[in-house]
Every structure is written in structure tokens, then in C-alpha cells.
Amino acid sequence: MNKAVRKAVIAGNWKMNKTPAEAKELLNAIAPLVKDAGCDVVACVPYVDLQTALEATAGTNIKIGAENCHWEPSGAFTGEISADMLAAMGVEYVITGHSERRTYFGDTDVTVQKRTRAALDKGLTVIVCVGEYLEQREQGITAELVAMQTKIALQGVSKEELARVIIAYEPVWAIGTGRTATAEQANEVCAVIRGVIKDLYDAEAAEKMVIQYGGSMNAKNAAELLAQPDVDGGLIGGASLKPADFAEIVKAATVG
């Protein structure tokens, strides 16, 4: 990461874990461990934990995000939550396009763009996930695929709004599998994404763009990944549920 122009962002993605009581306990454990962080710290939690998380992190440096949002402000969308609802609660971040949403719940590049647009319209900062499956990597189309996902997600996003967008590169084959892209592989794709931003906007926008790596980053590999010039943080899954491990990743982003 290039600290001269970008501040790293370490965001936990809790997925479908933790009751409200458990969320409070976890955040209370994490908060003192990351209070001196030199990076931005975010916890993206299940919908039912949001209010508890906001209360538990009041007065701390931890920001709270949701794991998804719908593109409409209201309507007949049973089980969905709108960006309006999140903003009204005081939530600051939201994830769109996570591979698990794409794989299990039918999200497409088009709906990811619509969700991203809705979140930006309500003042949220959006973590947009892009990434390839193993067979796509083996076919040698990673760069083209990730570039396309990025371009579609950012349709209609102005350069000014881009300041509230984070791109998270998540190779699907490395999520929850214990497999991790090498630091060089992660940086290569993050550099591709930065090149797309340069083409869509300009060199200044590309330099300021925060690009995370999200494929099984953990306490042991975080320092090596974050030492790469185009890796500006992490979207952390399992390790975000372990206070000591999450704090170690934050530390790596602080001193890196």
C-alpha cells in the first residue's frame, strides 16, 4: 500500500455469524486492541446486529457496515433491507457484490451496480467485491473478468462519489477455503483494477482508490499482502471473528 496517498481500510465481514449479544461481546473485545490503529477499521455485521454494533462502538474508532442492501428505497422485497434504512440507523458502510451473494442469491453485475448506486445516493461508503472463480483463473481470463465487473459496478459513479467506493478483490477460490492468492497474484489483480480506474477516470483517481484484498487474509499472511504496492487493506472473513487475529491484521496495516 502507498501510505503517501491512501489510507488502508481493514473491514471485517462477519457473514451469518453472531447474535446481538455475541456481537457486543466481540466488539468490546476488539475495540481496545485497535484503538491506536493507523488505518480505518470497519465491522460489517448481520442486519440484526447493526443497532447493537452501533451502540457498542460509539466513541471508538470502529465504523459499522452492513453486508448488503437493496437498490429500491422501499417496496415488496421480502427479506431485503434498503440503503435508506441503513443510513437512517447511522450505518456508514455497506458491502455489495460479495461472491457469496453472487453465488447463492443470484446477484449479477447489473444488480451489484444498482445496489452500489443506491448506497452511494444515501451517503454510504460502498465496498464493492469483484473476483474470479478457479476455472476462470485457470482459463487465463482473470484480468478481463475483474475489469468488466469493476466497470459495470462503477457505471454512473462520478469522480467525486468515487471517494466513497472501495474495491475489494476477492478470488472466489480463496474465500473460506484456506487457500490464498500469493502476494504477487493479489497485487497483480489489484493493479489491474487500479488501471481500470485510471482508464475510467484519471491517474489521480486511480492513485487515491483504496483496493482491498479479500481472499482469506489472516494474521499470518496480512503483513506480506499489505506490503504490496497496490493492496490497500483487507476484507476479512473468519479472522474478523477472532479479536487477536483481527487486531494483528490491523497492526499490519498500521505499520506496513
In the chain, where are the structural domains located?
9-255
* Per-residue pLDDT tens digits for 144-176: 999 999 999 999 999 999 999 999 999 988 877
What b/e string do you get for 40-72 counting C-beta neighbours within 10 Å, with b at 16 or more? bbbbbbbbebbebbbebbeeeebbbbbbbbbbe
Residue 29 CB burial class (10 angstroms; 0-12, 13-18, ≥19) = middle
Of 112, 210, 98, 207, the C-alpha closest to 165 is 210
Q: Among this protein's residues, is 98 annotated catalytic?
A: yes
Q: What pLDDT digit, counting tens, does each position of 197-226 carry?
A: 999 999 999 999 999 999 889 999 999 999
Contact 131, 172 (CB under 8 A): yes
Active-site residue 170, yes or no?
yes
**Over 90: is that where the pLDDT of 255 sits?**
no
Report, as an integer, the average pLDDT of 57-81.
Answer: 98
* Catalytic residue of the set 70, 98, 100, 132: 98
Condensed to tens digits (0 to 9), the pLDDT of residues 45-68 reads 999 999 999 999 999 999 999 999
At residue 207, φ and ψ (nearest 5 deg) are -65, -35
Pick the catalytic residue from 67, 100, 132, 170. 170
Q: Which pTM does this prediction carry?
A: 0.96
DSSP class of 165: E
Q: What is the model's pLDDT at position 256?
A: 58
pLDDT classification of 113: cutoffs 50, 70, 90: very high
Q: Domain 9-255 classified CATH 3.20.20.70?
A: yes
Q: Percentage of the chain surpassing pLDDT 70?
A: 100
Per the CB < 8 A criterion, the answer to whether 122 and 161 are in contact is no
| Cα-based angle 46, 136, 15 (whole degrees, multiple of 5) | 10
Looking at residue 13, its pLDDT comes to: 98
